[in-house]
Structure 1
């Protein structure tokens, strides 16, 4: 399939360099860091795999891990300018970007979203989980009242928010002791992000901002399989501790979320996700360079779904969501 659009594709800058991991093979980390910081090989990989457009985002933990709010505001602006000039500016027909935002100061985050979208042409926002404020064991989640100015702005602009994983807070990592290797993408990422998304659903956020859209990677961080159980139990046990949502939780999943294929190469998982949310709410992604285009693309092109659904997931859903046309020079 040609002209695919991929949208969980990461980058980093030597000025930021946020990707170090104590639990990954050093050779793997070096290879990933090299690919995060270059651009020509990325586009060559896209060419070889029929990817027309990649939507890029600053890699986790991103601006969210900057402890000082003023420094976060400055870093977000610098990183967005870097992406616009050094990445998108180099291949404007092939690369687009999500904005990094300083949610340590939600008013400033709203201002930076508007600048990035209106002035730089960015297509939405990437948020790497909770934001630290003051120290590494604090968290501000996206459903909290202080973040309302940010949500009002993204709804006004009509752009989605990609909720990307990060590790659990240090004070919440006891269960991983002795198994620290699964703190990140193998396990901890998914649990942290799914719980964050559940907070959004139960908080009433999408009742206050019905036009808001959130994107989740990894086929929804297991929510298509776990949210129906939550909904069933809340229906029987509901009281004030279950949030302020007005609709059933799965209704928000089907109407306010998009789920991407990033990093999941399991036909059964994709098929079950399609049964739960429908093909109009699933988008193609690779999770480059943490995952390989050469591995992800053949899997996607061979998975047993209809060609109509493959077209929707691979391209047309993203064209509709982001208002994208097909670049003339894309494969």
Structure 2
């Protein structure tokens, strides 16, 4: 965890939009105990204060980093951690109403991603519609699978259809494995943010790709954080090995073509100039967007990284704000 204290020195920053930035709605702490319990108590207290804040702390960091707009989402696992379907539906509505109130207090600085009760695809599609049409949200963020149920299941086509019809993206955020693979036994450090979450999320995204979700819904946009959870760097191999071992599956395009077309990414939590250059080279400059992963990563480090990374200024503007403005239909200022 990195935390950057307020500084007195101001500098000219390129304007930015950040997409993977979290908050904690009142009462949702119960869902996050599974991973927050492993954090040092002092760090946890700092995280809790930042997750609950929508004013001085968060806005101050945004100002110092040149972040004009932050798209807020409930920290994980959120409603995906709820065992009861009826409670999940109610909790998603509660979360989204709370978030809408915070956005309304700072409408030029904040936007929202909806929480969805994926325990019930029909209810999730209905809540997405309400959140977008009534609350003005820009899409949804879902914290991975829901109790081991993955969204290539045809039952979720109702959700994908609604996302495409509303022309809003879904941000697929990491979560724990449903059960820890044997290869992780004895290595708790590998399970979670260091490695396991990325493997779980990348695999989920590939299930959607090879499950034909993007063929059925060709205008769908899926966002992956953490520099695409490693997928951009395997595009060539996906084509090569799927051609050799298709296992009876057929796709309308080569696997690599969906990564950059339907799957777009953010830089959240990966402040590596080399990784950024590779992702842009693989996917194109219009498929990569800046993010921080607040409050779990440093806003200052992320801002410094994206401004110093070697790229032409047109590309930097796309990554910092232009792509997000287009995808989320945000008015440029």
Calculate the TM-score normalised by the size of structure 2.
0.92
Q: Aligned partners of 2:329, 2:245: CA distance in 1, in Å?
A: 42
Q: Work out whether residues 14 and 307 of structure 2, in 8 Å CA contact, stay in contact via their aligned partners in 1.
A: no
Q: Aligned partners of 2:188, 2:233: CA distance in 1, in Å?
A: 25
Q: Does 1:4 align with 2:16?
A: yes
Q: Which runs of 5+ in 2 are unaligned?
A: 1-12
Q: Aligned partners of 1:29, 1:175: CA distance in 2, in Å?
A: 29
Q: Does 1:317 align with 2:317?
A: no
Q: Aligned partners of 1:68, 1:181: CA distance in 2, in Å?
A: 30
Q: Work out whether residues 19 and 290 of structure 2, in 8 Å CA contact, stay in contact via their aligned partners in 1.
A: yes
Give runs of aligned pairs for residues 90-239 of structure 1, distance below 5 A.
Answer: 90-132=105-147, 139-169=148-178, 171-239=179-247
Encode CA deviations 1:124-148: one digit per residue, 9 max, x unaligned.
010111012xxxxxx1111111111
Encode CA deviations 1:51-108: one digit per residue, 9 max, x unaligned.
00000001111111111111100000000000011x2122111000000000100000
Q: 3-state DSSP class of the match of 2:326?
A: helix
Q: Aligned partners of 2:307, 2:20: CA distance in 1, in Å?
A: 18
Q: Which residue of 1 aligns with 2:80?
A: 64
Q: Aligned partners of 1:111, 1:310: CA distance in 2, in Å?
A: 37
RMSD of equivalent CA atoms: 1.2
Shift of 1:324: 0.7
Q: Which runs of 5+ in 1 are unaligned?
A: 133-138
Runs of 4+ in 1 over 3 A off after TM superposition: none
Q: Work out whether residues 23 and 180 of structure 1, in 8 Å CA contact, stay in contact via their aligned partners in 2.
A: no
Shift of 1:244: 4.2
Q: Work out whether residues 215 and 259 of structure 1, in 8 Å CA contact, stay in contact via their aligned partners in 2.
A: yes
Shift of 1:245: 2.4
Q: Work out whether residues 217 and 259 of structure 1, in 8 Å CA contact, stay in contact via their aligned partners in 2.
A: yes
Q: Aligned partners of 2:281, 2:268: CA distance in 1, in Å?
A: 18
Shift of 1:183: 1.4
